[in-house]
Chain A
Amino acid sequence: MNIRFYILRRVALIIPTLIGLSILTFAIARIVPGDPVGLAAGPRATEEIKEALRREFGLDQPLPVQYVDYISGLFQGDWGQSLYTRREVLGDLRTFWPATLELTTAAVIIATLLGVPAGVISAMYRNRLPDHVARVLSLFFVSFPSFWLAMIFQTWFARDLGWFPIGKRLPVLVAPPPATTGLFLVDSLVQLDFETFAVSLRHLFIPALVLSFGAFASITRITRASMVEALEKDFVRMERAIGIPYRVIIFKYVLRNALIATITVISLNFGWLMAGAILIETIFDWPGLGLYAVHASLSLDFQPIMGIAVLYGIVFSVVNILTDIVYGILDPRIRYG
């Protein structure tokens, strides 16, 4: 089957996935006990005020009608608004999500750049010193809570040593680059504004590093395991027997066999990190979606909750499709169909 057709079909299949997801989220957001309107209107609100709010947000309608209204709005770019701030959800997502995207992408890149070589070295020196070091390190990073490491790193590198800023995406006095993507690194590069690029890179580094630790650990472990497995393959012995240097065998022939499992873990981590960035965002005062999501959930602000669920649904689906395409690039035996 043609790869273009395959991608189109996969993209089209996102829609039923999202409908399922939205029904679930919609139902859960309405079933949980608590009265969002009561919370939003405040303790002194009269029954009339609450009633007016309900009418305004369509909460007086039957649930199926509410749902259909919501979905049709979704396709027209109306993702609802917050009960509290009265701001458009889509606008909020546009503001906050790029910060989280930038943070998670950077974390996944760091985790991959550190984790894959660590896993390879571990497998090459199996049960010898470099392997033990890599394994203890990854156990260390996966065991320590990231918020604790975040505060330690913040104390050491930002407060005591002063190498990095303590938090936020940019200093207060630096204007963010004109938003094309909302990713400061990309936007500043597009503008050829290298000064802003450097400053935002410095802000990004420590939060992304801390966020990457968990992913680093799992990437290291899966790379090691699948490298060890691939090293046992017959073709490794054949390649050695005919005189291909071990270094070439490892980094060219074996690594590619091992990367298929690693790619799976990287893509899973991308999703987990995006959803789990909240702690890091709180500690580093990173204006991302995590904080926004927590506020929305605590106050039962259902429109933003729905919006976040739909957005993450899209992100997960797209990452999945990309992963499947990468599989096909790595392994010629995989056919799309």
Chain B
Amino acid sequence: MTHLLNIENLHLEFDTYDGLVKVLAGVDLSMRRGDVLGLVGETGCGKSMTALSVPRLIPMPPGRITAGRVQFNGEDILNKSESDMEAFRARHLGMIFQDPVTNLNPLFTIREQLVDAVLYQRAQGKKVPGRWRGFAPSARQLRKDAHERAVELMRLTGIPDGDRRIYDYPHQFSGGMRQRVLIAMALAGDPDLLIADEPTTALDVTIQAQILRLIRSLVSQLGLTVLLITHNLGVVARSCERVAVMYAGRVIEEAPVRELFRNPKHPYTRGLIAAVPQKEVTRGGLEGIPGMIPNLIDPPGGCRFHPRCQHTMAVCRQTVPTPVPVGEQHTTACYLYEAEG
């Protein structure tokens, strides 16, 4: 069975005034059609950059991919021309971002933005008749269909009164409703892959739950493939089937959700799960992982987690561990498990 998305050994660097930041150092990640994969890790670990490498929206320069490849349906997308990329994004990808307030254009009605999303995703890189040539009967039919599809998308994403509210501007919507609009825009052309980059982080808790419920119901209704990026393990537990944990530019553990929570292997993952506040624990404060996120200009050699790890061995400082299987569909990149594999 071929992978829908296959990221192999992806290396990404950023030129900054302080020096070369090695943001991604060999990311491996693959998804099959129908997967709902959670990508977790702390701020700065490279999860958003991994996600942005799929639509190729990493600003280059200053960014630079130095090694690795990203394949979609077996096609290498790092070599595509920019115009092919536009068609590719329109045809295969949908993406939602963190802040629904800044991600909608404030000067255009929802209709304008949503209808354009439908038109251009359907056109898949081909020309869409514009305003001036748009009076031909065929073009008018195209726009009428797109409008109907837009209203349908609003219904699908749970926005009440879509046929009326479509004429409103973003500032007339609440944060949660705006995120629904953005989801509707991302789904306009029935994408093969929906990338959700921290879709609930900017929302308050009750709205977070609603948006997660919406994404879950869309997954079951439409059979979506979703890459969900978050730093919130709770979000992963409720929404995903599989989890990949990232640390300092590498995927260090990957497993089905239940397996990961019951049986975390990598010392970092264990620390991460131990750090989730429990209801019962009221005294003694919160658990944490000692140490700091490494400086990625001059990252630690070998396993990048070794300076913070309680089980560091000589080999951890020398070479980078490769992922080894440690259970059913469960892999981790740690020398503690090398022998078992």
**A148 touches B (CB below 8 Å):** no
Contact of B89 among A241, A330, A332 (CB under 8 A): A241
**Cβ of A235 and Cβ of B120 under 8 Å apart?**
no
Beta-carbon nearest neighbor of B51 in chain A: A241
**A168 touches B (CB below 8 Å):** no
Give the distance in Å from the alpha carbon of A234 to the alpha carbon of B95 in the complex.
12
Instruction: Provide the A235-269 mask, 1 if CB < 8 A to any CB of B, else 0.
Output: 10111111111101000110011000000000000
Contact of B103 among A235, A244, A256, A331 (CB under 8 A): A235
**Cβ of A243 and Cβ of B89 under 8 Å apart?**
yes
Using known A-B contacts A234-B99, A237-B97, determine if residue A242 contacts B117 with beta carbons closer than 8 Å. yes
**Cβ of A242 and Cβ of B94 under 8 Å apart?**
yes
Q: Tell me the residues in window 69-111 of chain B with beta carbons closer than 8 Å to chain A beta carbons.
A: 82, 86-91, 93-97, 99, 102-109
**Cβ of A333 and Cβ of B171 under 8 Å apart?**
yes
CB distance from A196 to the nearest CB of B (A): 32
Using known A-B contacts A234-B97, A253-B108, determine if residue A243 contacts B121 with beta carbons closer than 8 Å. yes
Using known A-B contacts A235-B104, A331-B106, determine if residue A241 contacts B90 with beta carbons closer than 8 Å. no
Residues of A within 8 A of B90 (CB): 242-244
Contact of A256 among B87, B107, B117 (CB under 8 A): B107
**B150 touches A (CB below 8 Å):** no
Residues of A within 8 A of B169 (CB): 332-333
CB distance from B122 to the nearest CB of A (A): 10
**A233 touches B (CB below 8 Å):** yes
Give the distance in Å from the alpha carbon of A237 to the alpha carbon of B171 in the complex.
19
**Cβ of B91 and Cβ of A235 under 8 Å apart?**
no
Which of B182-190, B217-225, B249-257, B259-267 binds A?
B182-190
**Cβ of A243 and Cβ of B189 under 8 Å apart?**
yes
Q: Tell me the residues in window 157-198 of chain B with beta carbons closer than 8 Å to chain A beta carbons.
A: 169, 171, 182, 185-186, 188-189, 195
**Cβ of A246 and Cβ of B186 under 8 Å apart?**
no
**Cβ of A242 and Cβ of B188 under 8 Å apart?**
yes
**Cβ of A240 and Cβ of B103 under 8 Å apart?**
no
**Cβ of A332 and Cβ of B107 under 8 Å apart?**
yes
**Cβ of B120 and Cβ of A243 under 8 Å apart?**
yes
**B8 touches A (CB below 8 Å):** no
Residues of A within 8 A of B87 (CB): 243
Give the distance in Å from the alpha carbon of A242 to the alpha carbon of B85 in the complex.
11
Give the distance in Å from the alpha carbon of A332 to the alpha carbon of B121 in the complex.
26
Give the distance in Å from the alpha carbon of A330 to the alpha carbon of B86 in the complex.
28
Residues of A within 8 A of B89 (CB): 240-243
Instruction: Provide the A293-322 mask, 1 if CB < 8 A to any CB of B, else 0.
Output: 000000000000000000000000000000
Beta-carbon nearest neighbor of A333 in chain B: B171
**B55 touches A (CB below 8 Å):** yes
**Cβ of A242 and Cβ of B105 under 8 Å apart?**
no
**B125 touches A (CB below 8 Å):** yes
Residues of B within 8 A of A333 (CB): 106, 169, 171
**B116 touches A (CB below 8 Å):** yes
Using known A-B contacts A237-B97, A332-B169, determine if residue A244 contacts B120 with beta carbons closer than 8 Å. yes
Residues of A within 8 A of B117 (CB): 242, 244
Residues of B within 8 A of A331 (CB): 106-107
**B57 touches A (CB below 8 Å):** yes
Contact of A242 among B82, B93, B109 (CB under 8 A): B93
**Cβ of A238 and Cβ of B107 under 8 Å apart?**
no
A and B contact pairs by CB, cutoff 8 A, 21 listed: A234-B97, A234-B102, A238-B97, A238-B103, A238-B185, A240-B55, A241-B89, A242-B89, A242-B93, A242-B95, A243-B89, A243-B120, A244-B117, A245-B120, A246-B82, A253-B108, A330-B107, A331-B107, A332-B107, A332-B169, A333-B106
Q: A240-B89, A245-B125, A256-B108 are in contact. List 13 more A-B contacts (CB 8 A).
A: A233-B102, A233-B105, A234-B102, A235-B102, A242-B90, A243-B89, A243-B189, A252-B116, A253-B105, A256-B107, A257-B107, A331-B106, A333-B169
